[in-house]
Structure formats: structure tokens, C-alpha cells
A and B are shown apart, each in its own frame.
Chain A
């Protein structure tokens, strides 16, 4: 037990140290790519729990991200000034992180609730139908936000305090990977792949399929909300178009390329794809054309993802 606490403390200090180094030696552009990598690791790992481990095809992950982003931004913009007046006596270096964490709690909670509301009914559906229902959910979130004047509607939401930095993003990325890894390795967690492989067999072994699916879905949604909250407080500005269908697709591609249900494969794929998408930026109008061609070709040549483990299995 003591050992684990030591590891966590060491990790936090290492991150703080890295944060200082990265902040000093990396220019803003590279730092931004790094932070996007961290956020995408959170999103891809949380989707991995739903899509990869449990096999429930979710095509609306960006919807949960949007809910989280807007929830935390709303907290920072509307609730924080009130609280500031009450707790102003606490010095800012202590108060700011608390506010930030509170806003992230908001984003996770709201995303969890949304996950539960959308997951309970739709998870009865299978395969393609679920994919389309979740896609529809993502679109509905977009339309609703577009019509909500409080959060800026179609003009977007600006002036969000930029609290997210390398330290916070990677702290939460590590937390996400740890939680998902821990969950799926636990005895109960074996029911996730069991349902992916064969629902009827899982049912006849006494698993309560709906409960397991909803659990995976809700936890995945919560982490997507967290990613959204971090994203909002990094960008400082939000617009619905940031969370469109293409964003959901991007996350799904990360999970498939990393290998469904392969924890580290997906983390690596998330980082690689973020980097690739930036590296293609000089190609301007060719960028998305090349990107889509790469997706198509990878699906053909590496149908089980890019990881080495699967590589050996496939060639054996």
C-alpha cells in the first residue's frame, strides 16, 4: 500500500518537473500538440472501454465530450464568480486549482448522467443499430447546444479561463489509463470482453449483460466528459463544430488502429494519429484526402490494428 502511494507521489512530482521543462523549452505549437495528444489519449482510452473491450459500437463519443466541455466551461464562467466572492480570502494559487477541479467534476457528472440516459435505452440495440443511435445522439447534442443561447449557441462560447496545462492533462490521461486498465483486469472486468465475444454465452454464465454494458458506457462517457472539460479550459473558446461527427470518427479510428481492447495500443495510436494529423497540416486541402486514404488503406492491410502483438498473431 505504501509502495503504491510512493509511486503516485513520485509520478506527480515527475509530471510537475516535466511540466516545467516542457513549458520552458517547447514552443507553444509543440506544446499544444502534446496537450492534444493527452486529451485524445483520454478520449480514445475511454472509448476503448465501450468499443474495444465491451464491443458496443459508439459513434457519438464527441457528444459526451461536448457535454463535458460545455458543462465545465459554464461552471467556470457562471458559477465561479459567485464562489470567488465567498471564498476570496483563500489565496489564488490554492483556489484556482480547486475551481478547476470543481469544473471538471461538473463535466464528468453531466457526461455520466447523459451516458446513463442515452445508454439505458439504446444499449438494448445491437451492432449497427447502436452505432446509428449513438451517432444520432451526437447530432442531437450538437443541435441542442446550437440552440442554447446561455452557452453562446451558434456563435460559440469564449473567455473560458485557460487552466489546462501539460501537468493536468497528463495527470488525468494517466488516471484514465489506470482506471480502465484496472477495471478490465479485475475479475468483474472480464465480463466486458465476454459480452463482446458472445452475448448469449455471457448471459448463460449468469452475467447481467445490460448492467455490464451500461457500466462500460457510463464510465466511458464520464471520461469523455473529463476530456471535454480539459479541452475547454485549454482552448479558452468552444464551438459546436469542434465536436461534430468527424471528431467521433477520429476517436473510433484511434481505437480500431490501436487494436480493440488493447490498452497501450490505443494509447499509442491516439498519440500517433494526433501527431499525424498535425504533420499533414502543411498539405492544406490535401490533408483530409490523405488522412482518409490512410484510414482506408490501414483497414485493408492491418485489420486488427497496428500493434505488434496482433501482428505476430496475424502472421502466425
Chain B
């Protein structure tokens, strides 16, 4: 039982990180119907820039330094996200969707190899911004302070995002654009700016995920975004793509089931699990858990 609970907690921690990344996928898919393959690499840039910011801000206590690193890497990723959208995706708004998809893969490869060129291909050790200690220990089930930070930061960011999307004017515009570009344009919504902003929101969340993973698992390298990116996308599909609560639930499900497979079956099958889950969910309920079913009409 102790082991089960411990695995569950570890699973929720890694699941929260998947959920943060999955939100970026789901929002971009919502407004553009595009699988933004480069999103996983934005998360990598978040972690890598966090590594460099941590060396820049050496003074200050743990929390101040942590916040500065977090904000810095969020700013870098926000700029990167907006730049990718402006330079690579906007010119293809009217092209066939497969072109946009391949461009997204192209951007992903570009970021990975540019990263290898700039940062070097070897893994780097992410500095321990907050020294790890056991915060809660109930009969052997341990929650570390880092896991607690992951929970709290993820929850705050998700609540903030939910508030923006549901309660503000920008969020209303975002929901309108995801419904129809033309209609939004006709009622005076600046569609391009809203799409840019979607990328900015997604990238900020990815940056946060990058820093949090750096705390939890301090090996960062330029190819680290590839697999978590794909898995987070699977998590988004699992929850129903385009749905924000869906991304949260999908991410948690993904993290928990992956930790259990690694813990109870075999670590080597961990990476296959995500895709087996994906194919199963797509067969049973192609729109995901929270997705809306839409019947195509002639």
C-alpha cells in the first residue's frame, strides 16, 4: 500500500508536468487545428534557458532565485512561441493543413539541432534551485518539497489560465476564434493577435514545465523535448483535444499510468505505454474523454 501511494504521488507530479505541456497543445489545436510539434521543443528551450538563468542569478535565497529563473525562462519562451507563430505558421494559414503540420515538424527539428549547436549535445545538470527535502512523511509515503512546488505551481498556472479563458475579454476572443476564424474576424476580433497570444500562453506554460522538470529530474539536453512533447500531445488527445480540463485530466492520467507501468511492470515499456493508450482511446472514443462529438454534415 505504501508503495502504491508513493507511486501515485510520483505519478501525479510527473502528470502535472505533462498537463502543463498538454495545455499548450490543446489551445493551439483549438484555434488553428494544428498539431504544434515544436511545442515539446519550446519546453526544452524553457528548461535550457532556465539552466542559463540559474547561472546568471546566483544571488538571493532559493525562492527568489527560483522565481527569477522561472520568470526569465517564461519570457524567453513567450517570445519564442510568438516568433514561431509569426514566421513559420502565419504564412501557411491558407495552405493545406498537411503543409502546416510538416512545417511544425520542421520547426521542431530546427529547434532540436539548433539547440545541439548552441548548447552542445551532452546532457547538462540543472542546478538544484531548491534543495530537496521531505516535506510530508506519513507512514513511509513521502512528498518532497519539490513535488509540492510542482503541484502548487501547476495548480496556480492552470487556475490563472482558466480564469483568463473563461472570465476575461481576451479569453472570450480566444474561444470565439477557436469556434470560427471568419465569424470572429467579422465581429471585429483581431484574429492574428489572438492566435499569437495563444502561442504565448502555451509557451509560458511549457517554460514552467521545463523549469519544474529541471527541479525534479536534473538532466537537461536539447533532445529532451521530443518524447515528453509527444506524450503530452497524447495526453491532450486523451482528455479531448481543445478542452482545457481535458488536458489536465489527460496529463494526470498519463503521468500516473506511466509511473505504474514503470514501477510494476518494466521501465523499458514505459515509452510504449503512451502510444498503446493513445491507440486504445482513439478506438473507443476518438474525441477523447471531454471532447465534443461533431457529426459531419453534407
Contacts and interface: CB of A to CB of B under 8 A. Distances in A.
- Do chains A and B stick together as partners? yes
A246 B109 contact: yes
A131 B33 CA distance: 13
A136 B279 contact: yes
A292 B234 contact: no
Give 10 nearest A-B pairs by CB, closest first: A136-B275, A295-B106, A143-B272, A292-B110, A288-B113, A292-B109, A303-B95, A296-B106, A299-B99, A299-B103
A197 interface: no
Interface in A112-171: 121-122, 124-125, 127-129, 131-133, 135-137, 139-140, 143-144, 146-147
A256 interface: yes
A200 interface: yes
Interface of B: 29, 33, 35, 88, 91-92, 95-103, 105-107, 109-110, 112-114, 116-117, 226, 230, 233-234, 237, 268-269, 271-272, 274-276, 278-279, 282-283, 286, 296, 298
Nearest to A128: B35
Contact of A139 (B103, B113, B272): B272
A295 B102 contact: yes
A131 B101 contact: yes
Nearest to A118: B279
Query: Is chain A's interface secondary structure helix, strand, loop, or mixed overall?
Result: helix
B110 A293 contact: yes
Contacts of B99: 256, 299, 303
Contacts of B114: 289
A253 interface: yes
A286 interface: yes
27 contacts: A57-B101, A125-B282, A125-B286, A129-B282, A131-B35, A132-B237, A137-B275, A139-B271, A143-B268, A143-B272, A245-B226, A246-B109, A249-B105, A256-B98, A285-B116, A288-B109, A288-B113, A289-B114, A292-B113, A293-B106, A295-B102, A295-B103, A295-B105, A299-B100, A300-B91, A303-B95, A303-B99
Interface of A: 57, 121-122, 124-125, 127-129, 131-133, 135-137, 139-140, 143-144, 146-147, 200, 245-246, 249, 252-253, 256, 260, 285-286, 288-289, 291-293, 295-296, 299-300, 303-304
A136 B272 CA distance: 8
A133 B278 contact: yes
Contacts of A137: 275, 279
A260 B96 CA distance: 11
B113 A132 contact: no
Question: Counting chain A CB atoms within 10 Å of each CB, which of B98, B107, B296 scores highest?
Answer: B98
Contacts of B271: 139, 143
A256 to B, nearest CB: 6
Nearest to B287: A129
A128 B234 CA distance: 12
Contacts, number: 114
A286 B298 CA distance: 49
A289 B112 CA distance: 9
A124 B298 CA distance: 19
A172 to B, nearest CB: 27
Question: Counting chain A CB atoms within 10 Å of each CB, which of B29, B102, B112, B116 scores highest?
Answer: B102
Nearest to B233: A132
Given A292-B109, A295-B102, A303-B96, A122 B116 contact: no
A180 B275 CA distance: 30
A132 B98 contact: no
Contact of B279 (A121, A128, A303): A121
Contacts of A121: 279, 283
Nearest to A286: B117
A299 B113 contact: no
A296 B103 contact: yes
A13 B63 CA distance: 76
Contacts of A293: 106, 110
A147 B272 CA distance: 11
Contacts of A299: 92, 95, 99-100, 102-103, 106
A289 B35 contact: no
B268 A122 contact: no
Given A122-B279, A256-B98, A289-B114, 6 more contacts: A133-B279, A136-B278, A143-B272, A147-B269, A296-B106, A299-B92
